[in-house]
Amino acid sequence: MCNERLDTPRVLRCVAGFTGRIAPLLLLSLQFPARAACLSSPDAGIRAMQTLAHREPADAVRRIQAAIHSEMTAPQPNAPKIAALYAVLADANEALELDGAARSAASEGLKYAVRADESVRMNLLAALAANIYDVQGLKDATAMIETARATVPSGSITDVCLQITLGNLQYRQDRDDLATFNLTSAYRISDKAGWSSQRVLAAEGLSHALRNSGDFEQSLSLNQEVIDWSDARNLSLDLSVALYLRGEIFRAMRDYPAAIAAYEKARRISEDIGDQQGIAFSDLRSCQVQTEINQWNPARIRCESALRVFSASQSKDVLKEARTLLARIDLAQNRPARALQTLNEVLDHQGSDMPPRQVAMLFEQRARTLAALGRFEEAFRDLDEYARRNAKEAGAERVKQTAVLRARFETDRQVERNASLQNQLDLAKERVHRQTDQLRWTVTAILAGACVILLMAYILFTGQRHKRQLVDLAGHDGLTGLPNRRRSVEVATAALESAEEQHRPVAIALIDLDHFKLINDRHGHAAGDNVLKEFARVGRESLRATDFLGRWGGEEFIVVLSDMTLDIAMTSIERLRTAALQIKLPVKGDEALHVSFSAGLATNESGIRTLDDIIAQADVALYEAKSNGRDLVKIAEASFDSASTGVRRALRRTSRTGTGAPPVSSAS
C-alpha cells in the first residue's frame, strides 16, 4: 500500500484491443474521458472500461477478471488482448489503492506483451513502476523506465508519459531536484492541443515535488489545475484524491485548519462513492494533523478508524504509519510502555519495508519513548541510527535537529542524575542531624556521591567526544573522504556570498561519472567503489589547493572554483576530465569500458546570486552533456551568453577531436 494516498499520479494505463463486450459503456466514455489514461487507446471499449475503473473500480475489477478468463480459455487466446486487459486491471487496482494487486496485474500482463503494440508494453511497465515503494524496487524501476525512454522518440507523447513516471519515481526516492526537472519538462512539452491528460498528470506530480521543496504557492496552483480538471469531467475519485493532496500541501504549510477542511471534503466524496480506502486515508491524515495540535483524543479516534480499514486490506505500510501515530498519542498520554511495544512492532524489519522518508523519524520517536522510560543507552543507539539515516536521506537540517535532540537528552540525563545525588546528600544530612553517632554512614554517602559525580563527568566527556565524531562524520563521505553534500552546500554558499561581496567570479561544476552503473554491473561494486576513491584522489591532485571538490551523491561530484573566470574554469575541468581518463579499472579485459565523466559548468558572471540557481544551471548543462554522448563538459546557457567574445573563441578552440567525443560547447 502506498504511504500517501495516490501521492504518485496515476499514469500510463490505457490499452488496446477488447472490443464489443463492453459497448454499453461507450456513451459514458465519450461524455467523460478516462482520467488515468496517459496514452489513449484507439479502442472505444477499452476507454469505457478505463472510465469505469475510476468511477467504480471494484466493479471494473470483476468485469476485467471475467474478460481475462474468457479470453484465456478461448480456443486461440489473443496474447496482446490479454496484455491490454491486464493493463486495465492494474489501473483499476491502483484506483482502489491496492498496489500489490496492481503490481501483480502489471507483471502478469508483461508475460503476454511480447507481441503487443508499443503503447501496451509502455503502459504495463509504467503500471509496474507506479506501484513500487521499497528502496531497491524504486531503483530498479527507475532504471527500467530510463531504458524504456531510450527506445522511444524524444518529445513524443510516449516519451512524455514515461518522463512523468520517471519524475514520480525520483520523487519517491527523495530526489526532488530530478523529479522537478523531469516533471517540469513534461508539463511544458504537454502544453499542446489534445495533450490535456498528459499535462494534468504532470501538474499533479510536479505539485508534490514543489510541495516538498517548499514552493507552496506553485504547488497549490498546480493542484488547483488537477481539481478543476477532475471536477469538470465529474471524476469523483480523482477529485477526492486531488482534495486530499491539497490537504497535504496545507499540512506542509502548517495551515492545519485548511488541511483538515480539505481532508474532510475528500472524505465526504469518498463516502459518497463508497471508497473505504479514501475514507481511511483522510482519517489518517486528520489524525496526523490533530497530533500536531495536541488534540490527542480526536486524533486517536481518527487513527483507530483508519487502522481498521488498513488492517482489513492488509495495507502494510500505511498500517504501520497509523500505528506509529497511535504510539505518539500513547507517549503523549503517558503510556510509554505501550508506545514502545507498538514502535518495536513497526520497526520489525528495521525500516527496510517502509518508505525512507519515514524511517529516520521512527528511530527518533522510539528514542524519545525509550528516554521517557529511562532507558538512555538504548535511546542513544536509536539516536545514532536516526542521525545516520537522517544524514543520508534528509541532509543538514535534520542532522542539526539530531544534535539539538542529543544535547537535550544529555541535559535531561545529567539533571536526573544530579537530582538523585542531591536526594542522597539530603538524606545524609538528615541522618547527621538526628544521629551524630552515624558519621561513618554520612562519609560513606559523600564518597558515593563523589563517585557518582566522577561517573557523570566521564559519561558526559564520552558523550561529547562521540558527538564531535558524529558531527565530523555528518560532514564527510566515508568512502572517498571528500566533503559530503551537506558540507558542499555550506562551502559553495559561502563562496558565492564572498564572491558577491568582493565582486569576484566563482564557477561551479557538477560532475557525473559516465556508465557508472555499467562498471558496477560488469566488475562488481568493489570496483565501482575503487573508481570513486580514485576519482577523489585524481581530483585533489588535479585541482588547485584553493579549489573545492565534494561528493554530491552517488557518482556525482561538485567542484567550486573561487576567483576563477569561465575560460580558466573550463580549462581546470578539462584537465580533471583528462586525468580521470587515466583511471584504470581494477578488472582487466574490458577494452570497451573506461572511466570518464560528463560535467555541467556555470558561473556567477551571468548575474546568478543564489546557490540553488547556479546549481540548477549547472545541472541542466550536465543533463545536456549526458544527452550529447557523455565524456563532455557543457557550459550553462546563461554563463556562456554572459562570456566575452574572446572567451567564446577560446572555448571553441578547446574542441576535442578523436575518440568520437563531441566538442565542448554551451548548453544552448
The C-alpha cell that represents 569 in the structure block: 574554469
Lowest mean pLDDT among 250-259, 388-397, 486-495: 388-397
Q: Which helix (H) or strand (E) holds 609?
A: none
Scored b (16 or more CB within 10 A) or e, 284-295 reads: bbbbbbbbeeeb
- Region of 12 (left: φ > 0; alpha: ψ -120 to 50; beta: rest) is left
Domain-by-domain residue ranges, the chain? 1-209, 224-318, 485-666
Q: In this model, does residue 523 exceed pLDDT 90? A: no
Average of per-residue pLDDT values in the chain: 80
Q: In this model, does residue 394 exceed pLDDT 60? A: no
Banded model confidence at residue 352, pLDDT cuts 50, 70, 90: confident
- What average pLDDT does range 468-482 have in this prediction? 77
Model confidence over 51-62: pLDDT tens digits? 777 767 888 888
Q: In this model, does residue 38 exceed pLDDT 70? A: yes
Q: How far is CA 262 from CA 255, 292, 647, in A?
A: 11, 16, 55
Q: In this model, does residue 657 exceed pLDDT 50? A: no
Which has more pLDDT, 88 or 520?
520
Going by C-beta distance under 8 Å and a sequence separation of 6 or more, which residues neighbour residue 533? 479, 480, 481
Banded model confidence at residue 1, pLDDT cuts 50, 70, 90: very low
Q: Give the Cα-Cα-Cα angle 516, 520, 521 (nearest 5 degrees).
A: 115
> What CATH number has the domain spanning 1-209?
1.25.40.10
- Count CA atoms closer than 13 A to 548's CA, side-chain side: 25
Banded model confidence at residue 380, pLDDT cuts 50, 70, 90: very high
Lowest mean pLDDT among 19-23, 293-297, 317-321, 639-643: 19-23
Task: Give the CATH architecture of domain 224-318.
Answer: Alpha Horseshoe (1.25)
Q: In this model, does residue 22 exceed pLDDT 60? A: no
Q: Which helix (H) or strand (E) holds 508?
A: strand 506-513
The C-alpha cell that represents 380 in the structure block: 542513544
CB of 512 within 8 A of CB of 555?
Answer: yes
What whole-number distance in Å separates Cα of residue 599 and Cα of residue 636?
10
- What average pLDDT does range 405-422 have in this prediction? 48
pLDDT of residue 666: 39
Banded model confidence at residue 414, pLDDT cuts 50, 70, 90: very low
Equal fold, 1-209 vs 224-318: yes
Q: In this model, does residue 197 exceed pLDDT 80? A: yes
Topology of domain 485-666 in CATH is Alpha-Beta Plaits (3.30.70)
- What average pLDDT does range 387-392 have in this prediction? 79
Scored b (16 or more CB within 10 A) or e, 378-413 reads: bbbebbbbbbbbbbebbbbebbeebbebbeebbeeb
- What average pLDDT does range 552-578 have in this prediction? 93
Which has more pLDDT, 243 or 351?
243
Q: In this model, does residue 40 exceed pLDDT 50? A: yes
Find cell 504518485 and name the residue. Answer: 8
- What average pLDDT does range 418-442 have in this prediction? 67
Please state the pTM of the whole predicted model: 0.50
pLDDT of residue 283: 93
Scored b (16 or more CB within 10 A) or e, 312-342 reads: ebebebbbbbbbbbbbbbbbeeebbeebbeb
For residue 445, which amino acid is it? A
CA-based end-to-end distance of the chain: 43
pLDDT of residue 214: 85
**Which residues are bridge partners to 513 per DSSP?**
597
Give the sheet arrangement for strand 597-603, strand by strand.
Answer: 548-553, 556-562, 506-513, 597-603, 633-635, 665-666
Banded model confidence at residue 576, pLDDT cuts 50, 70, 90: very high
Share of the chain above pLDDT 70, in %: 78
CB of 200 within 8 A of CB of 233?
Answer: no
Work out the number of other CB atoms within 10 angstroms of the CB of residue 468: 10
